[in-house]
A and B are shown apart, each in its own frame.
Chain A
Amino acid sequence: MQPFTTHTGVVAALDRANVDTDAIIPKQFLKRIERTGFGQFLFFDWRFLPDGADNPEFELNRPHAAGASVLLARRNFGCGSSREHAPWALADYGFRAVIAPTFADIFFNNCFQNGMVPIRLDEADVAELFSRAAAAAAKGQSYRLTVDLKACTVADDAGFQRSFSVDPFRRQCLLEGLDDIGLSLRHVDEIGAWEAAHGLPAVTG
């Protein structure tokens, strides 16, 4: 997995609550059997017009959001289906961090498996970020944020800085880009002991 230490990037401000994983990646694109190549379908129904052209009204298509890698959204981001295709699509598009007041549980977990940091900030802080992004956009400029996972901070270059909390184990795995399964397999003896204590036949080979 791609390690995450610190990242500075352009913000895309998606001013919606309850963005569900069906919206992030519609079902017609779940039929691939690879983990890659989903970015082209990200937010498909919002991002493209019926004739296939870019929808100029959609945040990702605005000039100031070009090359965005930090996504800003409202409450309950990633609700609905467990599809990991949602973080795959976000990561494949280029996002490294998602900032929202709250996230759905399964989506939140899935992010960590894909080198992407989901960051919970207070609703007022998120509102402040939205207004800073809007102010920059009004001047035709991109708004940039730096996410520092070592320090657990989000900051811009104009005085905004907030700390966020993240599970220490998940943080360590992201910082080092560790393979979750490899780590768990270090505990294979404990797993075997649990199975034996619960009357399951031993796993051999």
Chain B
Amino acid sequence: MSTSPRTLLDKIWDDHVVCAPAGELPLIYIDRHLVHEVTSPQAFEGLRLAKRRVRRPEATFATPDHNVPTSDRRLPIADPVSKQQIDTLRANCREFGIRLYDLGDADQGIVHVIGPELGITQPGMTIVCGDSHTATHGAMGALAFGIGTSEVEHVLATQTLRQAKPKSMEVRVNGTLPPGVTAKDIVLYLIGRLSTEGGVGYVIEYTGECIRSLGMEQRMTVCNMSIEAGARAGMIAPDAITFDYLRGRDFAPKDFDAAVARWQKLPSDPGAVYDRVEIFEAADVVPQVTWGTNPAQVTGVDAAVPDPGAFADPNDRSSAERALEYMGLSGGTRIVDIPLDRVFIGSCTNSRIEDLRAAASVVRGYRVASSVRAMVVPGSGRVKRQAEAEGLDQVFRDAGFDWREAGCSMCLGMNPDTLSPQERCASTSNRNFEGRQGKGGRTHLVSPAMAAAAAVSGHFVDIRTWTYKE
């Protein structure tokens, strides 16, 4: 092992190489494996067919999140195919001895919300899940990334993965967050600059004063969307904010101080070399709104929808033309003039308690516009209970929002929460792809505060000009 200065990625990688046989890709040990109902049934079936077992069931945690209804949980699941997938997860966890946070469990929720919340994900770990937003867990100073179902099966059977070492990219954000600008705006801005494929082949380490100043949940929002820039993983070096967040959580190490002493050695060494470095200034970021059908098609709330003819690259131009046609928008329309039909506050990007507090503070004392249907879907049972203890649910209900049970919900609309064709939605989720929230639905990605203000106003508004009541 090299003694030259190492990055956070180098340190975690070096510690997890099981073997690197000649002519093969290295085998990397996986510390934690998170499982949900959509990408796992074929993996368990593969194990059964090959008469294999789960090597280390205690390293694996499961919860249903993608398909689950967010309405009354006492009612049976109406969609028989969704029900079958959830029943299958239940049966597989029972058969293979895996801990399941089932529907009805107080701690059920979106897998990327409950992992950190329960202290399952910790600094220095390798963490995988059959879900591209696994990058979220990198906020803890872990190497966390999404995998396909065949790889899920591989991890279940061997507790390892075949992986070539990814390249490293430092994305440094200098300065402090301007008022009204949140972690969501930062990451949307970065994706806009890096493009949807700028991070392909890389693990991004977010550094700089702006990133260091973010709380844990905001850091999760940033890392969560790394995949939208093409990077399988995003990570942030662990520090006192990380350790304070983890202390006392269900699965936090028993000897916490010893763990902290280990974790303090993880941050990149001075002089460590990244394969690529990109530097940004927080002061340049204004609240962001996507106008197209990929997350890099984004601009400031104070700007207008771009004219496709303004793009020099022919790919970018034709993508913009297609996107505007799908979105029912034309170049030159001011972002604040775009009217909305729906507002969705939720998803693994923005459904944690700080997100709900931010949205509630905007909504307090206001009513949702009569033309808008708005919903809040907490990320987990714990987030929901915490919000209710703080009275946030009442703030949302009083304003006319639906207050729902935990799940992925309208981020991808696998459950009954979907957009109708041509409905336009301000969403705190992570993908504005065609049809993502429902066939023909039109998604604009924004921060929780921006979504809340849009719900009240019926169109986008610049949150920096908002009048907060009480």
Contact = CB atoms under 8 A, between A and B. Distances in A.
Report if A and B associate in a common complex: yes
B302 interface: no
Nearest to B294: A18
A37 to B, nearest CB: 12
A200 B56 CA distance: 10
B39 A83 contact: yes
Contact of A84 (B18, B150, B431): B150
B158 A184 contact: yes
A18 to B, nearest CB: 5
B45 interface: yes
Interface in A161-189: 167-170, 172, 179-181, 183-185, 187-188
A27 B197 contact: no
Given A109-B151, A113-B150, A181-B154, A20 B433 contact: yes
Contacts, number: 171
A190 B27 contact: yes
A158 interface: no
Given A104-B230, A187-B19, A181 B153 contact: yes
Interface string B81-119: 110110010000000000000000000000000000000
B295 to A, nearest CB: 10
A17 interface: yes
Interface in A94-142: 102-106, 109-110, 113-114
Given A26-B435, A35-B42, A181-B50, A191 B200 contact: no
Contact of B42 (A33, A76, A180): A33
B196 A79 contact: yes
A81 B24 CA distance: 27
Interface stretch (B141-149, B267-275, B342-350, B392-400): B141-149
Interface in A46-80: 74-76, 79-80
Contact of B82 (A31, A35, A87, A183): A31
B67 A31 contact: yes
Contacts of A79: 196-197, 230, 294
Interface residues of B, number: 64
Given A27-B412, A191-B27, A17 B154 contact: no
Interface in B149-172: 149-151, 153-154, 157-160, 162, 164
B414 A28 contact: yes
Contact of A31 (B45, B81, B431): B81
A23 interface: yes
Interface residues of A, number: 55
B144 to A, nearest CB: 12
Contact of A82 (B18, B147, B319): B147
B434 interface: yes
A17 B85 CA distance: 32
A1 B439 CA distance: 34
A109 B42 CA distance: 17
A33 B201 contact: no
B282 interface: no
A30 interface: yes
A167 B148 contact: no
A157 interface: no
Given A187-B21, A190-B18, A191-B27, A82 B146 contact: yes
Contact of A23 (B85, B197, B434): B434
B151 A113 contact: yes
A194 interface: yes
Contact of B197 (A83, A104, A114, A181): A104
B76 interface: no
Contact of A191 (B66, B67, B160, B435): B160
B433 A23 contact: yes
A111 B180 CA distance: 42
B200 A22 contact: no
A184 B154 contact: yes
B232 A105 contact: yes
Given A20-B431, A84-B148, A191-B160, 9 more contacts: A26-B439, A35-B149, A84-B42, A84-B130, A104-B230, A167-B164, A184-B154, A187-B160, A195-B29
24 contacts: A20-B431, A31-B84, A33-B85, A33-B88, A45-B439, A75-B315, A81-B412, A81-B431, A82-B132, A82-B147, A87-B148, A102-B200, A103-B200, A105-B200, A105-B232, A106-B132, A106-B148, A181-B50, A181-B153, A181-B154, A184-B154, A190-B27, A191-B55, A191-B158
Q: Would you list the 4 A-B pairs with minimal beta carbon distance, nearest first?
A: A113-B150, A33-B41, A110-B148, A84-B148
